[in-house]
Amino acid sequence: MLAGKRILLIIGGGIAAFKALELIRRLRERGAAVTPVLTRAGAEFVTPLSVSALAGRKVYQDLFDLTDEAEMGHIELSRSADLVVVAPATADLMAKMAQGLADDLAATLLLATDTPVLIAPAMNVRMWQHPATQRNLATLAGDGIRRVGPGAGDMACGEHGPGRMAEPAEIIAAVEAALAGGPLRGRRIVVTSGPTHEPIDPVRYIANRSSGAQGAAIARALAARGAEVVFVTGPATAPPPEGAEVIPVETAREMLAAVEGALPADAAIFAAAVADWHVADAAQNKLKKTQGGMPALHFAENPDILATISGLQNGRPPLVVGFAAETEDVVAHATAKRARKGCDWILANDVSAESGIMGGAENRITLISEGGAEDWPRMSKDAVAARLADRVAEALDQA
Ligand code: C5P
């Protein structure tokens, strides 16, 4: 709940501005007070009247609106909030923020504020992928600006790819996480979870039995401690966590792209059961039984997401955590895996049939780090998640 929280909502100019109206409604439903600021470009997409009607208060538009003595000055306006939300955050607004420009009311408020800021970027895919935008994004992350989205999908401009503004429900989750106290407040953490589906043809695929329960529990535990969690999940059966930004993917290659798109981050936790191979020549049409004989499938190796992110020269998260499901010599194999993948920690578990862990509600972990192996008692997957989240908070505080 957001009862009593004060949100300063800056609405930038983009087609996604219409979603800001729904966002105002939902924020108010949860008890938050919303002070809206509409940029000149934003007012081309939504009217000041609809914004102020939904917010139930005046909409601020112009720097010089505030010169009247009866009005709040811009410094005061920028600070009279618990959180500043920029939705949609256009490429232009992000560039202004990264540069520290103050040439209109929105930019001035963003420069003057001393409260946390959350941006929900929205723009054309090429603009999002442009090195200038990516540079600005890295600058903003370094400045402690929190981010939700963008998602991938069909865009109003007819193109496809990342750039769509996060949905209002996802922005609400990010607002709640940003306002939650806790040891991970201000930390951005990427979690992978679930199986991957590797297509054979348009209707068939290769998969595994991962439920995604441990990954979802980890994401929930991190969000409950105030982290901004990006949850990249294959098609899992466990419900996705509340309070996280959820990015659904199917294949290992899509999962890697989603993780790369979610960086920079303070930590990355790879709990997904990623297929090692994909079918290299997946058919465009459904394979027919009548084609004569059984089809031969040719496999190609999938990217190792954990190893790829661990090995990044630029932008490697300071803490990278992997899992190792082993059936024998757990510590020896997991220690070798930690070195091979180049990650900081490995959470090893014994998934031999005797352990009863695979598909169960419990887990028994050995944490392998630079300092050696540490056995955790057998506990529920939720308890494993809580313990890991506490350890992540400690490690990031020390870093
Ligand atoms: O090599 P193995 O699959 O045992 O490694 C397990 C760890 O590596 C897990 O953390 C898993 O999420 C990650 N992994 C990955 N990408 C792959 C294979 C495994 O991120 N292609």
Residue extent(s) of CATH 3.40.50.10300 domains in the chain: 188-398
Q: Is 343 a catalytic residue?
A: no
Separation between Cα atoms, residue 81 and residue 77, nearest integer Å? 8
- What average pLDDT does the chain have? 92
What tokens were used for 186?
């201000």
Per-residue pLDDT of 28-63, as tens digits, reads 999 999 999 999 999 999 999 999 999 999 999 987
User: What CATH number was assigned to the domain covering residues 188-398?
Assistant: 3.40.50.10300
- The CA radius of gyration of the chain, in Å to the nearest whole number, is 23
**Dist. CA 324 → ligand 1 center (Å):** 7
Q: Which residue has the tokens 């999938």?
A: 302
pLDDT, one tens digit per residue, over 115-167 is 999 999 999 999 999 999 999 999 999 898 999 999 887 777 778 888 999 99
Residue 361 has pLDDT above 80, yes or no: no
Q: Which residues of 103-124 are buried (b: 16+ CB within 10 A; e: fewer)?
A: ebbbbbbbeebeebbbbbbbbb
> Is the minimum distance from the CB of 198 to ligand 1 under 6 angstroms?
no
- pLDDT of res. 359: 64
CA triple 91-130-83, angle to 5 deg: 35
- Beta-carbon contacts of residue 15 (< 8 Å; ≥ 6 apart): 45, 122, 156
Counting ligand 1 atoms within 8 A of each CB, the residue from 270, 299, 337, 347 with the most, and so the one to mutate, is 270
Distance CA 48, CA 57 (A): 11
Tell me, using a 6 A CB cutoff, whether residue 302 lines ligand 1.
yes
Give the least confident one: 98-102, 214-218, 314-318, 325-329.
325-329
Alpha-carbon gap, residue 258 to 230, rounded angstroms? 10
Ligand 1 centre from 202 Cα, in Å?
25
- Report helix, strand and coil shares of the chain as percent, to nearest 5: 35, 25, 40
pLDDT of residue 69: 47
Average pLDDT over residues 297-314: 97
Task: Decide which of 65 and 276 is more confident.
Answer: 276
Q: Can you read off the two tokens belonging to residue 263?
A: 């960086």
The closest alpha carbon to 369, from 393, 392, 397, belongs to 392
Class of CATH domain 6-180: alpha beta
Ligand 1 center from residue 390 Cα (angstroms): 23
Name which residue sits closest to atom 17 of ligand 1, judged by CA: 304
pLDDT given at position 295 = 83
Q: Is the pLDDT of residue 70 over 60?
A: no
Residues of the chain with CATH 3.40.50.1950: 6-180
Report the pLDDT value the prediction gives residue 253, as an integer from 0 to 100: 97
Rounded to the nearest angstrom, the distance between the alpha carbon of 343 and the centre of ligand 1 is 11
The verdict on the CB of residue 274 being under 6 Å from ligand 1 is: yes
Instruction: State the catalytic residue, choosing from 53, 132, 156, 157.
Output: 157
pLDDT tens digit sequence for 98-110: 999 999 999 999 9
pLDDT at 115: 93
> Does position 339 have pLDDT exceeding 80, yes or no?
yes
